[in-house]
Amino acid sequence: MSPRVALVTGGSSGIGEQTALLLKKAGFEVYAVARRVDRMAALEKQGIHVFGMDVTDDASMTGGIERTIAEQGRLDVLVNNAGYGSYGAVEDVAIDEARRQFEVNLFGLARLIQLVTPHMREGFDKLNQRGRIINISSVGAVIYEPFGAWYHATKFAVEGFSDSLRVELAPFGIDVVIIRPAGILTEWNEISRDSLVETSRGGAYEKQARVAARTLKRVDNRVMSSGPRTVARTIVKAASANRPRTRYATGRGARLAMASRRILPDRAFDAVLTRAYLRG
């Protein structure tokens, strides 16, 4: 029997890179895609197929899926990992940047699902091969932070989208799984806090933004956060399970953060965030 085929977006670093490596180790035929192909040379040496894909470019996505199907004849697992967080006050973030976050974090994810679903459905109809779509959300789909409104909005949207999709695709043998990372040591944290400081420079929110950036930096260490391999192991678990859960929380502090949101009333949670992000 031929190995199951998996495609991982955002494969050039962090969670995507580690996921590609662990899926390969687990016996999958793995395709890792990203805009920065040069950063995936190490994956290629491990026998992973790599090529460029921009999830904001339709031709790039269409061509990538066509290539995978042409080479393998199937696609069993899609890991929608590409995404980023660009922080800043709602008043300060340019609407074009807000749209770009939705393009990368939601619409690119959705377009890839549109492209792979017919192939997964065909595999189930003809060979009884179940497909699996794994969408990387965030604990940020449960909690919220000042200056992260656009990012959190994309992740709340990903979860609503995924829940509806799960019911739609179940009759066709396609599972939809949500992964909620929290506190992961990748370049994501640095990018988000740097964008926050830069966007707020010279404006009404500059002082508070610098406090928030310090708070973000304080958790960006091995004591407070987990490595990307932690998330990758969870993704492989979701990809390999006969009957996966609908959601997996992973990373240091994920369960605590979600439990705090469930227990605390809105005003109490607001007060916690104000102390941590606005007053230092």
- Known catalytic residues are 151
The 8-class DSSP code of residue 242 comes to S
C-alpha to C-alpha distances, 190 to 175, 187, 214, nearest whole angstrom: 33, 5, 11
Q: Which residues contact 99 (CB under 8 A, 6 or more apart)?
A: none
Helices 95-102, 149-169: axis angle to 10 degrees equals 30
Q: What angle do CA 87, 147, 213 make, to 5 degrees?
A: 70
3-state SS class at 246: coil
The two three-digit tokens of residue 125, written as one number: 């109809």
DSSP 49-87: EEEE--TT-HHHHHHHHHHHHHHHS---EEEE-------
By CB atoms closer than 10 A (0-12, 13-18, 19+), residue 91 is exposed
